[in-house]
């Protein structure tokens, strides 16, 4: 008879702690990796800023725009300043299938309304009306410093970029909550999801009036002063708000978290964490030898259902692959393109929910994501009886796990929560419609969709290593 411990090690499965089991070199690499990540997060607080970040970086790294009749192996395409596809051509024909990693670069936020500015009748303050985007808990956004990011697009097409509230010398903004003393009737008895109405989320913009000439009677002088200051700084008028995209995000930078600095705390890590780690994985294979064309796809609008011409339901990525076929002198008729997609493999790189020590009951420990135990792989997402989900095939699961094991990558399986606890979807199911093999793969997060999401540096680094291994061996 064998010893029970030996037998247990041989026959049973348990996830491994990165911080406990990784080599000292790896632990250091994980901490170092997050330095660049934090810099990226600070530069990329909206989808537009993310794509701007990559536009600059791709040019510096010698990637060529496919729409400029590009030659070579390193190719990209951007679309409408909100999504990107970046490829390195492999040794095998593209028509044998590509290895693609898709993430999304939009994040839950609060947008300004199209006609936002009023002088509030009851307070004589200049305020901006808002309309939230994606799944937020509204109460989190009250009484916290807010920055405004986005663009005005003037009638002549001129784009005026706006970012107020990030530089330490900038002012910030706020949507003030009410004091507990007077919340007893209008707020405290309500359910948490109803305590703050969308209409309560008005942003304080200014309070000084435009000072009129003596004898001149100016109505709405506070609003006028807001417009005056905006015109001075950006050259815009109130009508330019009608063609603007202005987004409110939490002001401030990504920070280390924990006395051991093992976490990153920052806004918008869902899902820029996967955009960054997949792009870094692609850069890391530039000089390597690999078979299948590797593609990083950064989509927009995931938080509102992947709709629109910049979301994953659009034809953007299909058109890009068709154009890659053509650029490499392969057939790109519809049949070849469809066969290419069917032979392709896709990691739907999105975040998962880590077990939260404040609410362990919503998770099921054996199947949930543990922070610091590596990148998480979700066979399916959805809700209820796996409704609305891609359900990755066991054969593809095994193939991916094998690659990760061979490369000593810290990974774990991860279901979003207990069965029937709730649910959510990712881009995976839209990608699966092309016939490709698709599986969800990304780091766990605590406080997902909150102002400050928490990620483990172990998991960020493990995601990067997993994506790199997928490109090289998938
Ligand atoms: Mn996401
Ligand atoms: Mn999300």
Q: Which residues contact 250 (CB under 8 A, 6 or more apart)?
A: 144, 145, 146, 147, 267, 451, 452
Going from the Cα of 455 to the center of ligand 1, the distance in angstroms, rounded, reads: 13
Residue 296 exposure: Cα atoms within 13 Å on the Cβ side: 31
Going from the Cα of 271 to the center of ligand 2, the distance in angstroms, rounded, reads: 7
Going from the Cα of 133 to the center of ligand 2, the distance in angstroms, rounded, reads: 11
Integer Cα distance of 409 and 403 in angstroms: 9
**Would you state the structure tokens that stand for residue 144, as one six-digit string?**
């916290």
Q: Looking at the CA of 103, name the nearest ligand.
A: 1
- Residue 173 CB neighbour total at 10 angstroms: 18
| H or E segment and range at residue 337 | helix 334-342
pLDDT in tens, 341-370: 999 999 999 999 999 999 999 998 899 999
Backbone angles phi, psi at 394, to 5 degrees: -55, -35
Handedness of CA 86, 88, 94, 99 (dihedral sign): negative
What is the layout of strands, in order, in the sheet containing 263-266? Answer: 255-257, 263-266, 453-456
Q: Looking at the CA of 105, name the nearest ligand.
A: 1
pLDDT of residue 202: 98
Going from the Cα of 176 to the center of ligand 2, the distance in angstroms, rounded, reads: 25
Integer Cα distance of 94 and 92 in angstroms: 6
Going from the Cα of 98 to the center of ligand 1, the distance in angstroms, rounded, reads: 23
Going from the Cα of 451 to the center of ligand 2, the distance in angstroms, rounded, reads: 12
**Would you state the structure tokens that stand for residue 341, as one six-digit string?**
């997609």
Per DSSP, the three-state class of 228 is: helix
Helix axes 47-60, 24-43, angle to 10 degrees: 120
CA diameter of the chain: 103
Q: Which residues contact 100 (CB under 8 A, 6 or more apart)?
A: 294, 295, 296, 297, 317, 344, 345, 346, 347, 431, 436
Asked, as a colleague might, if the bond just before 80 is cis with ω within 30 of 0, I would say no
Q: Looking at the CA of 274, name the nearest ligand.
A: 1
Q: Taking a C-beta distance cutoff of 8 angstroms, is the pair 414, 367 a contact?
A: yes
In 1-125, alpha helices (H): 4-11, 18-21, 24-43, 47-60
Going from the Cα of 368 to the center of ligand 2, the distance in angstroms, rounded, reads: 17
pLDDT of residue 1: 67
DSSP bridge pairs for 345: 99, 437
Integer Cα distance of 452 and 375 in angstroms: 20
Going from the Cα of 201 to the center of ligand 2, the distance in angstroms, rounded, reads: 21
Sort strands 99-104 and 453-456 into parallel, antiparallel or unpaired. Answer: unpaired
pLDDT of residue 343: 97
pLDDT in tens, 273-282: 999 999 999 9
Going from the Cα of 426 to the center of ligand 2, the distance in angstroms, rounded, reads: 8
Going from the Cα of 426 to the center of ligand 1, the distance in angstroms, rounded, reads: 6
Going from the Cα of 197 to the center of ligand 1, the distance in angstroms, rounded, reads: 24
- What the chain holds in terms of domains, given with CATH numbers, is 4-107+267-473 (3.40.630.10), 109-250 (2.30.250.10)
Q: Looking at the CA of 107, name the nearest ligand.
A: 2
**Would you state the structure tokens that stand for residue 53, as one six-digit string?**
């970040």
Instruction: Identify the segments of the chain with pLDDT beneath 70.
Output: 1
Q: Looking at the CA of 104, name the nearest ligand.
A: 1
Going from the Cα of 350 to the center of ligand 1, the distance in angstroms, rounded, reads: 5
Going from the Cα of 108 to the center of ligand 1, the distance in angstroms, rounded, reads: 9
Going from the Cα of 137 to the center of ligand 2, the distance in angstroms, rounded, reads: 12
Radius of gyration of the chain (CA): 24
Per DSSP, the three-state class of 191 is: coil
pLDDT in tens, 83-125: 999 999 999 999 999 999 999 999 999 999 999 999 999 999 9
Helix axes 47-60, 269-284, angle to 10 degrees: 10
Sort strands 444-445 and 352-353 into parallel, antiparallel or unpaired. Answer: parallel
pLDDT of residue 69: 78
Q: Looking at the CA of 134, name the nearest ligand.
A: 2
Integer Cα distance of 310 and 71 in angstroms: 25
Sort strands 411-413 and 453-456 into parallel, antiparallel or unpaired. Answer: unpaired
Q: Looking at the CA of 135, name the nearest ligand.
A: 2
Integer Cα distance of 220 and 125 in angstroms: 10
Sort strands 99-104 and 294-299 into parallel, antiparallel or unpaired. Answer: parallel
């Amino acid at each position: 008879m064998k010893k029970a411990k030996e037998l247990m090690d041989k026959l049973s499965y348990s996830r491994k702690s990165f911080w406990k089991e990784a080599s000292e070199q790896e632990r250091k690499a994980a901490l170092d990796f997050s330095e660049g990540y934090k810099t990226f997060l600070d530069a990329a607080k909206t989808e537009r800023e993310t794509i701007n970040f990559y536009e600059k970086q791709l040019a510096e790294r010698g990637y060529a725009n496919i729409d400029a009749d590009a030659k070579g192996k390193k190719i990209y395409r951007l679309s409408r300043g909100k999504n990107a596809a970046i490829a390195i051509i492999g040794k095998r024909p593209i028509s044998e299938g590509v290895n693609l990693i898709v993430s999304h670069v939009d994040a839950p936020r609060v947008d300004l309304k199209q006609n936002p500015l009023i002088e509030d009748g009851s307070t004589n303050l200049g305020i901006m009306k808002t309309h939230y985007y994606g799944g937020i808990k509204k109460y989190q956004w009250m009484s916290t410093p807010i920055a405004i990011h986005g663009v005005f697009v003037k009638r002549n097409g001129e784009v005026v970029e706006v970012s107020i509230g990030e530089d330490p010398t900038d002012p910030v903004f706020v949507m003030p909550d009410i004091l507990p003393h007077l919340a007893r009737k209008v707020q405290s008895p309500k359910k948490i999801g109803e305590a703050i109405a969308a209409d309560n989320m008005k942003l304080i913009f200014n309070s000084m009036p435009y000072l009129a000439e003596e004898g001149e009677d100016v109505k709405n002088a506070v609003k006028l002063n807001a417009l005056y200051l905006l015109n001075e700084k950006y050259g815009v008028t109130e009508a330019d708000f009608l063609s603007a995209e202005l987004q409110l995000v939490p002001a401030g930078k990504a920070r280390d978290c924990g006395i051991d600095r093992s976490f990153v705390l920052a806004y918008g890590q869902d899902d820029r964490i996967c955009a960054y780690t997949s792009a870094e994985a692609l850069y890391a294979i530039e000089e390597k030898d690999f078979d299948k064309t590797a593609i990083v796809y950064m989509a927009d609008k995931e938080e509102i259902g992947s709709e629109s011409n910049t979301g994953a339901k659009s034809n953007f990525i299909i058109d890009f692959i068709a154009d890659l076929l053509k650029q490499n002198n392969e057939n790109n008729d519809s049949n070849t393109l469809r066969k290419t997609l069917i032979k392709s493999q896709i990691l739907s790189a999105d975040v998962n929910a880590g077990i939260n020590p404040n609410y362990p009951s919503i998770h099921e420990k054996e199947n949930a994501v543990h922070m610091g135990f590596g990148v998480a792989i979700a066979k399916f997402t959805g809700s209820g009886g796996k409704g609305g989900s891609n359900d990755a095939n066991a054969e593809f699961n095994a193939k991916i796990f094998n690659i990760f094991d061979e490369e000593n990558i810290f990974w774990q399986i991860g279901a979003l929560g207990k069965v029937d606890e709730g649910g959510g979807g990712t881009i995976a199911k839209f990608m699966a419609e092309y016939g490709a093999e698709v599986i969800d793969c990304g780091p766990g997060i605590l406080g997902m969709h909150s102002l400050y999401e928490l990620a483990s540096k172990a998991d960020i680094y493990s995601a990067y290593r997993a994506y790199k291994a997928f490109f090289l061996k998938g």
